[in-house]
Amino acid sequence: MNKVLIVEATLHPNTADALSSAVRFVLEQNGIEYERVQVTGIFEIPAAVSIALDAFDYDGAIVVGSLIGQENITLNTIYQECARGVNDISIHFSLPIGFGIFMAENEAQALEQASVIGKQAALCCLELIKIKNLYQSFHNDSGSGYKN
Ligand SMILES: Nc1c(NC[C@H](O)[C@H](O)[C@H](O)CO)[nH]c(=O)[nH]c1=O
Ligand SMILES: CC(=O)[C@@H](O)COP(=O)(O)O
């Protein structure tokens, strides 16, 4: 295992800290190296993952951030585009990604959920890395070429 990338949106710094600490706790418990990159808002997360992947072959990524406020078209669009962008990268590059980005009505609610969401995102990324490693050890050829 090389390294996992953590991308953190810091617009809501307290929630971002709680998410990131939970992610790093899981990675450290599992002896996994990581690198962190911070962006302002969750909208920037897919581009940040893509830019980082151009520079290094990460084994996986964990993306974290929160949208705080009453639901409206702007927040929903930011969330949907972020989720779509992250999932497009994950599927296109077969890159294990844990998604720890969520909406809450206020900071208190966000803080209440952040640790569980960060932990779950990290564990889901590790789960996908294990599945990928398993397939690669079963079929140690170059794959079906489906995505070439
Ligand atoms: N309202 C929230 C945002 N909005 C900012 C966007 O994500 C983006 O940074 C901006 O539109 C510039 O491209 N981001 C969050 O992470 N959380 C929010 O509650
Ligand atoms: C474009 C934005 O960042 C977004 O935060 C605006 O959100 P709101 O419409 O809830 O003020």
pLDDT (tens digit, 9 = 90+) per residue, 120-129? 999 999 999 9
Smallest-distance ligand from the CA of 82: 1
Nearest-Å Rg of the Cα atoms of the chain is 15
What is the SS3 assignment for 139? coil
- Which of 44-48, 96-100, 123-127, 132-136 shows the lowest mean pLDDT across its residues? 132-136
Residue-wise pLDDT for 27-72, tens only, equals: 999 999 999 999 999 999 999 999 999 999 999 999 999 999 999 9
Residues 19 and 144: their CA atoms lie apart, in Å, by 37
What does the pLDDT read at residue 145? 60
The structure tokens listed for 148 are 């070439």
- 104 CA to centre of ligand 1 in angstroms: 13
pTM above 0.90, yes or no: yes
Beta partners for residue 99, in sequence order: 63
Share of residues in the chain with pLDDT > 90 (%): 90
CB < 8 Å & 24+ apart, contacts of 46-53: 46/81, 46/82, 46/85, 46/86, 46/88, 46/89, 47/85, 48/7, 49/5, 49/7, 49/86, 49/89, 49/97, 50/89, 52/5, 52/7, 53/5, 53/89, 53/93, 53/95
Q: Which CATH superfamily is domain 3-142 in?
A: Lumazine/riboflavin synthase (3.40.50.960)
Say yes or no: CB of residue 103 within 6 Å of ligand 1.
no
- 86 CA to centre of ligand 1 in angstroms: 15
Banded pLDDT at 77 (limits 50, 70, 90)? very high
Q: Which of 114, 10, 130, 117 is nearest to 60 (CA)?
A: 130
Mean pLDDT, rounded, of the chain:
95
Closest Cα to atom 15 of ligand 1: 41
Say whether pLDDT at 148 is over 60: no
| Ligand 1 atom closest to residue 65's alpha carbon, by position in its atom list | 16
> Domain boundaries in the chain?
3-142
- 104 CA to centre of ligand 2 in angstroms: 14
| Ligand 1 atom closest to residue 42's alpha carbon, by position in its atom list | 16
